[in-house]
Structure 1
């Protein structure tokens, strides 16, 4: 692609028509000239060139002298393009606001399974979904892809999002770098056998994505992602990440400093595993605040107290904790539990490391 073609593509991206972009570039090459010369160089019909130039003037990109024949020149790009960008931004904001109003006219029920294709589209969509993380985020992906997400994950970790990260090792140096970088904010495990990339956010959305492009043929993009919003399918994503990816990966060693502040969880298996770490390192007492529902009545439940026991099943399919609260001993389970007293939807954990003093009153 020539410089002129690249310029045309980018100018059209800012809202110029093909004729306007070509005329603008032709005039830039002339510095200043007449309409027929611009039409000839830009290969624009003479019958069209005056309306094209009038549009460029209205956009503030060129100016003219009112003499015979009329002479045109481009305005200083530092000013004119900045003005164009400002108008583009204003138009983008207007469109976003109008779309929000349209989308709010009807209640939208999330659900189902959606497909995204194309490498760039998938990366943008995954980043966008990461921005919506409120409590817990679990991600399994190759080390070479973490370049796309590392800064975002670090920012989420600093802002209190609970991160569970599995790195597929393809390059030991890259993996070591990201382990050192991200273990400050996340529980990190490493897997020597790569699998499909998987993202699971709270209990709201899951993404399974496969990225495949060719350096020799970059136009051959066979990258696909499935965005999962259906609750039953999300349960499958939760179990797939936990059982097939998390438990089959090697723990790099828990960073106990993660427990120096309250941690929030929507992924119950991570909560119980962290309780296990705290108990085994004699870092009790451990306190929790739990939002959920009573298993039998389905009524909302709010439990606050000390964790006095926990259980991890032999097959890793069952996780529970026992909380000593004002209601007495309450057993708490995760998503879809039926033997426990309460199904937890959100849990806040306080260890003895926490600066905040937890009161079980």
Structure 2
């Protein structure tokens, strides 16, 4: 590397042009009086003293006050470390800029692939801040702690947040400091490893393999149908079968999925319970957002059972809940409803009561 290129490298490492010139002169000649540094370099005599003092403050040279000011280069260990760190910083910055340049704009594309799983996590962090209805996310404890602030803020805004955390041996101890006792936030512990997965507002989903994968990549999806497939995977594999981290039987209780709601309240309904719910979603006829509150008066799905909860298989084709509000009868369907009156996006179980004492 020639002197001019080396000088440019030093300038990129936070030295001024005069500092780089003076430092290289001292490296070439060793200890010199300040006036000789000016003579053997392009540093003006009027600037050489301030330049050498500045280099000394940065650890590049040592100055000696004799009959006149002398300077010599310092031991290069710290300087080499500084240069290598700067090199790593520039390399990392270049890779990050490349990643961001190559990231797909999901406003124009339905599916995009990124090179790093961490990119997916940052996309989810941003999108959770704008979520309006529901967030379903499966992740490790470390990833949850990274996103915890955004997830709790979403729950405080009324967004239903369902978190599936993959089990780790220290999970119980770590979770004691999480403070997640919130109405709209529920955490379940999954005992099998799995990918990072997030489904937001039924329209966007995000995937990245876990640490066992041989490749580091992520998938960004802006598509209702593909997001529904991810939602169904989340519900069946990462949610229904697993226990809550902190059991909570208090009402009101929110639900993302009509199927989950039916599985929990069907036995109570068939035992004669009065079940009051509030449902928010899209009116099928007007295509506008609507909220209704009423009592459950019917539950319909294939091969209906009356002595327990229906299986996921029974609910996989169609499932309908009928509400009576006092003014109208409203049929409630799940994600993708076509023939019902309302496509439920958020179901809140408000109250359960029985007409006769001792009935349960």
**Short-chain TM bin:** 0.5 to 0.7
Q: 1:252 to 1:69 in 2, by over 3 A?
A: closer
Aligned residue runs from structure 1 range 1-361, under 5 A: 18-22=9-13, 24=15, 36-40=21-25, 67=46, 71-72=50-51, 74=54, 109=107, 111-171=109-169, 173-175=170-172, 177-178=174-175, 181=178, 183-185=180-182, 186-212=185-211, 222-252=215-245, 254-257=247-250, 259=251, 263=254, 267-272=257-262, 286-294=276-284, 297=285, 299-300=287-288, 302=290, 304-308=292-296, 309-310=298-299, 313-314=310-311, 315=313, 316-317=315-316, 318-325=318-325, 328-338=328-338, 340-347=339-346, 349=348, 351-352=350-351
TM-score (norm: length of structure 2): 0.59
Cα separation, 2, equivalents of 1:281 and 1:187? 27
Cα separation, 1, equivalents of 2:320 and 2:9? 63
Structure 2 unmatched ranges of 5 or more: 1-7, 29-37, 59-104, 302-309, 353-360
After TM superposition, give the deviation of residue 151 of structure 1 in Å: 3.5
Coordinate RMSD, CA, aligned: 4.4
Structure having the higher Rg: 2
After TM superposition, give the deviation of residue 167 of structure 1 in Å: 1.8
Tell me, yes or no, if the aligned pair for 1:179 and 1:188 is still in contact at 8 Å: no
Residues 217-264 of structure 1: CA deviation (Å, up to 9, x unaligned): xxxx8322111112221121111111222123234464134x45x85x
Tell me, yes or no, if the aligned pair for 2:194 and 2:210 is still in contact at 8 Å: no
Tell me, yes or no, if the aligned pair for 1:163 and 1:187 is still in contact at 8 Å: yes
Tell me, yes or no, if the aligned pair for 1:136 and 1:267 is still in contact at 8 Å: no
Cα separation, 1, equivalents of 2:229 and 2:334? 14
After TM superposition, give the deviation of residue 310 of structure 1 in Å: 4.2
Residues 199-230 of structure 1: CA deviation (Å, up to 9, x unaligned): 1111121111114389xxxxxx8322111112
After TM superposition, give the deviation of residue 137 of structure 1 in Å: 0.7
Q: Which moved more, 1:112-121 or 1:318-327?
A: 318-327
* Matched pairs, number: 272
